[in-house]
């Protein structure tokens, strides 16, 4: 079968022929119907140094995956060949307190995981191939009726990641309060939709590109702002001088983090979601009182079930551009150049 593999650090992936996987006990082989191309893959391909991560090359890319059950190993129940499924991407040890709650992103025994701090497409073979071997059936989540794999695939990260961040701030997103989303790309355009679908807060979208703000408007943003030197003041003006109750930074660069710190309300939340390399200087007088600053990484398996339900009900949807497996490298090039709206999805 064909697979898009990273074979050397700081290089483009290559399309190669590899054997079709066979499931062992407790395992599932999924025939891929869609694999999302994530901006974090570009960091993996071009920025990671040899030895920086405990991952061995080569491995197949693709950590946003959905498709149909192809075959199951001994002991697997509740999954049948041909069943439409999504794949929960982070693969932990399965036995520590966090994994038992379904929060395998925060596995506390990574030495017992299939690959430390990773999963399919992140150290192990992912879904940019015709078939994907999932090492444990608990990572396979049945799709709700009417949700196709190519539509569901990007939701497993691009929606799950902002959903987790928004969900933890729900108490601060009551009617009359304001949420800000910085960066209306693959994550941000879904963050806007998640906020509108699950909270009563007013939503302000911020980006440096007018076309991205137009996307935010189409998904229900109440106010859009081009980013600049006055953006924090504009947010305060729009909130009666108070600032935003929750800010979600889907970029994570120095300038966006500075904006998130400057635009917040006392007792608010600032969540850094993007991995743009910025840092947040936090001190007694540098942020509003009781302004919580945190990072989040991906989301939990129960939250993925909730995300898929929202999508099946038409409350959220990813803006996607479809590419064939033969054109997957081109999809990454366009993503890196900022030439895509939303998410690229590779369909073998």
Residues of the chain with pLDDT under 50: none
Domain of residue 99, residue span? 2-157+299-347
Q: Are residues 253 and 309 in the same domain?
A: no
Q: Are 59 and 126 in contact, with CB atoms under 8 Å apart? A: yes
Locate 87 and state its tokens.
């794949």
Strand order in the sheet with 202-207: 223-226, 202-207, 178-182, 244-249, 264-272, 292-295
Q: Are residues 143 and 254 in the same domain?
A: no
pLDDT at 117: 86
pLDDT at 338: 85
Q: Are residues 178 and 232 in the same domain?
A: yes
Q: Which residue has the tokens 């917040």?
A: 264
Most distant CA pair in the chain: distance in Å?
61
Reduce the DSSP state of residue 232 to 3 states and report it. helix
C-alpha radius of gyration, the chain, whole number: 20
pLDDT at 176: 96
Q: Are residues 222 and 166 in the same domain?
A: yes
> Can you list the alpha helix ranges (DSSP code H) found in the chain?
39-46, 97-100, 149-152, 160-168, 188-198, 210-218, 231-238, 254-262, 301-312, 328-336
pLDDT at 285: 87
Q: Are residues 46 and 124 in the same domain?
A: yes
Reduce the DSSP state of residue 153 to 3 states and report it. helix
Q: How many domains does the chain have?
A: 2
Q: What is the CATH number of the domain that holds 254?
A: 3.40.50.720
Locate 276 and state its tokens.
């743009």
- From the list 131, 125, 108, 256, the residue with the least C-alpha distance to 182 is 256
What confidence tens digit (pLDDT) does each residue in 270-285 have? 999 999 899 988 889 8
Locate 63 and state its tokens.
């950590």
Q: What is the CATH number of the domain that holds 325?
A: 3.90.180.10
Count of all residues that appear for the chain in the document: 348
How far is residue 168's CA from residue 271's CA, in Å, rounded to a whole number? 10
Q: Domain end: 269, 295, 321, which one?
A: 295
Q: Are residues 10 and 148 in the same domain?
A: yes
Q: Are residues 282 and 341 in the same domain?
A: no
Contacts (Cβ under 8 Å, ≥6 apart) of 171: none
**CA-based end-to-end distance of the chain:** 10
Q: Domain end: 295, 313, 332, which one?
A: 295
Q: Domain end: 255, 276, 295, which one?
A: 295
Q: Are 247 and 202 in contact, with CB atoms under 8 Å apart? A: no
């Amino acid at each position: 079968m064909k697979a898009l593999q990273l074979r050397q650090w700081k290089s483009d992936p290559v399309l190669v022929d590899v054997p079709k996987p066979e499931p062992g006990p407790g395992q599932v082989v999924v025939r891929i119907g869609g694999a999302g191309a994530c901006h974090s893959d570009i960091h993996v391909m071009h920025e990671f140094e040899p030895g920086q991560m405990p991952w061995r090359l080569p491995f197949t890319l693709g950590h946003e995956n959905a498709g149909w059950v192809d075959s199951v190993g001994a002991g697997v129940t509740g999954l049948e060949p041909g069943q439409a499924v999504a794949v929960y991407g982070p693969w932990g040890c399965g036995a520590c307190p966090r994994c038992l709650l379904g929060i395998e992103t925060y596995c506390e025994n990574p030495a017992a995981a299939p690959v430390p701090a990773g999963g399919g497409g992140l150290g192990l073979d992912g879904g940019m191939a015709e078939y994907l071997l999932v090492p444990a059936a608990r990572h396979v989540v049945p799709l709700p009726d009417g949700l196709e794999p190519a539509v569901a695939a990007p939701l497993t990260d691009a929606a799950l990641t902002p959903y987790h961040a928004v969900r933890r701030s729900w108490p601060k997103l009551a009617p009359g309060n304001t949420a800000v989303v910085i960066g209306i790309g693959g994550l941000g355009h879904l963050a806007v939709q998640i906020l509108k679908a699950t909270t009563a807060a007013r939503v302000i979208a911020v980006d440096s590109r007018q076309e991205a703000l137009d996307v935010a408007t189409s998904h229900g943003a109440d106010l859009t702002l081009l980013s600049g030197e006055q953006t924090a003041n504009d947010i305060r003006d729009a909130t009666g001088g108070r600032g935003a109750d929750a800010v979600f930074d889907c970029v994570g660069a120095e300038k966006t983090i500075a904006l998130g710190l400057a635009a917040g309300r006392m007792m608010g939340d600032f969540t850094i979601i993007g991995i743009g390399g910025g840092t947040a200087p936090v001190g007694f007088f540098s942020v509003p009182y009781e302004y919580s600053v945190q990072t989040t990484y991906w989301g939990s398996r129960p939250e993925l079930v909730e995300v898929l339900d929202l999508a099946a009900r038409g409350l959220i949807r990813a803006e996607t551009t479809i590419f064939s497996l033969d054109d997957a490298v081109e999809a990454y090039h366009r993503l890196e150049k900022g030439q895509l709206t939303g998410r690229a999805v590779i369909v073998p």
